[in-house]
Amino acid sequence: MENIEHENRTREKLIAHANSIGVTGEFISDLVDEFYSRVRKHPSLGPIFNDKIQDWDGHIYKLKHFWASVCLHSGTYSGRPMPVHMALKNVEPFHFVQWLELFEQTVTELAPNYDVVEYFMERANRIGQSLSLGMFYRP
Ligand code: HEM
């Protein structure tokens, strides 16, 4: 019981800190909408996503919960990104570079301050590195 309460307090503190710098559910929602609207028009990322995704509303809904779970510990995303990306054909390491560039551009344009950019980019870089290691690293 004590441990659970401790975890809840830690999570509350994390959310309060994130919210105080501008990482809120509303910001995440706007960011995901804008990022995927750019992804869909991107010359090399667009075709990969448009080939695979039929239900864009469903994808965007899922990704909002993914980022809320990563940034605000909402626990509202329960998928497994690694096998999903491993199953994608025609994805090369440079796609990750372009994905991260586009994500950074979008966050930088929308964020109220640089702390928010850092908050997202630290997490996006870590996840991008882990996904691309899983997909491309063959010892
Ligand atoms: C840091 C980089 C990335 C993050 C954080 C990320 C995150 C995600 C997440 C959470 C999903 C949903 C997985 C699920 O169904 O539960 C997803 C799906 C998808 N991602 Fe990524 N992704 C990244 C990079 C990329 C790149 C570089 C590509 C390809 C150019 C890509 C293509 C896709 C596609 C096509 C789907 C939909 C797959 C499907 O519905 O079957 N992602 N991504």
Question: Taking the model in full, what pTM does it have?
Answer: 0.96
pLDDT at 40: 98
Q: Ligand 1, from 80, 88, 90, 97: best to mutate by most atoms within 8 Å of Cβ?
A: 88
Q: How many angstroms is it from 127 CA to the middle of ligand 1?
A: 11
Res. 52: pLDDT tops 80: yes
pLDDT at 22: 98
Tokens of 105: 């551009």
- Is the distance from the beta carbon of residue 124 to the nearest atom of ligand 1 less than 6 Å? yes
Q: How many angstroms is it from 4 CA to the middle of ligand 1?
A: 32
2 — pLDDT class (breaks 50, 70, 90): confident
Question: Residue 111 sits in which domain range?
Answer: 2-136
Look over the chain and give the mean of its residue pLDDT values, rounded to a whole number.
97
Res. 135: pLDDT tops 90: yes
Question: Tens digits of per-residue pLDDT, 109-125?
Answer: 999 999 999 999 999 99
Contact (Cβ atoms closer than 8 angstroms) between residue 27 and residue 110: yes
- Give the CATH number, domain containing residue 42: 1.10.490.10
Determine which residue's CA is closest to atom 43 belonging to ligand 1.
81
Res. 139: pLDDT tops 90: no
Res. 69: pLDDT tops 80: yes
What 3-state class would DSSP assign to 92? coil
The 3 state secondary structure assigned to 63-103 is HHHHHHHHHHCCCCCCCCHHHHHHCCCCCCHHHHHHHHHHH
Res. 1: pLDDT tops 90: no
The gap between the terminal CA atoms of the chain, to the nearest Å, is 44
Domain count along the chain:
1
Q: How many angstroms is it from 28 CA to the middle of ligand 1?
A: 16
- Is the distance from the beta carbon of residue 48 to the nearest atom of ligand 1 less than 6 Å? yes
